[in-house]
Copies of this chain bind each other. A is one copy, B any other.
Amino acid sequence: MFEEKTVSSQEVFKGKLLRVRVDQVLLPDGRESSREIVEHPGAAAVVPLDHEGYVYMVRQYRKPLEEDLLEIPSGTREKGEDTLECVKRELSEEVGLQAGNLSLLASLCTSPGFCNERIDIFLAEELSPSEGQQDQDEFLNVEKYLFTEAITMIEQGKIKDAKTASGLLLAAARLAKK
């Protein structure tokens, strides 16, 4: 459609997690503009729902916001790791669970205006304790809420994380069809 062809591209930062570049682009009307772009390896997240109707979330400090947030388990994809491996690892490391049934809810772009991050959000059911140990390196608290209460917490502003809001609401829509 309104494709923006790259005229030139300059890397301005290369970190352990992120790479940042500035692209000079050609707009559809022939003018030029610049785009500041953050490259991210992609992530996976999961709504772990048990047979009693409880959802498991984690509360952790988020340095960019200088506050702690309540989120569904999630993590950045490690090098060479596929999305299903990633989500199983995070489910085990963060909340100590494994799932008998994992199904994709959606694959979403978190900030398409400046970042290429995509996050695959899964619903995890038929939960049982995982065999692996919970990651001791992660500073987080596991919190368990009734699924219906978690939905209300989005509207109340107690859940502020976009992937968590999307994941819970998509899971609610999926479950309503069952």
Q: A111–B162 Cα gap in the complex (Å)?
A: 8
Interface size on A, residues (CB 8 A): 67
- State which of B43, B71, B109, B157 has its C-beta within 8 Å of the C-beta of A65: B109
Least CB distance from A46 to B in Å reads: 15
Instruction: Pick out which of these stretches binds chain B: A19-27, A48-56, A80-88.
Output: A19-27
Q: Which residues of B contact A174 (CB under 8 A)?
A: 155
Report A96-117 residues with CB < 8 Å from chain B CB.
Answer: 106-117
Say yes or no for A134: interface residue by CB 8 A criterion: no
- State which of B2, B13, B34, B161 has its C-beta within 8 Å of the C-beta of A139: B2
Show 24 residue pairs from A and B whose CB-CB distance is below 8 angstroms, ordered by the A residue: A1-B59, A1-B68, A2-B60, A12-B13, A15-B22, A17-B114, A23-B63, A37-B63, A37-B64, A38-B64, A38-B115, A40-B111, A64-B112, A69-B109, A106-B157, A106-B165, A107-B160, A111-B115, A111-B117, A111-B162, A115-B115, A162-B163, A165-B166, A169-B169
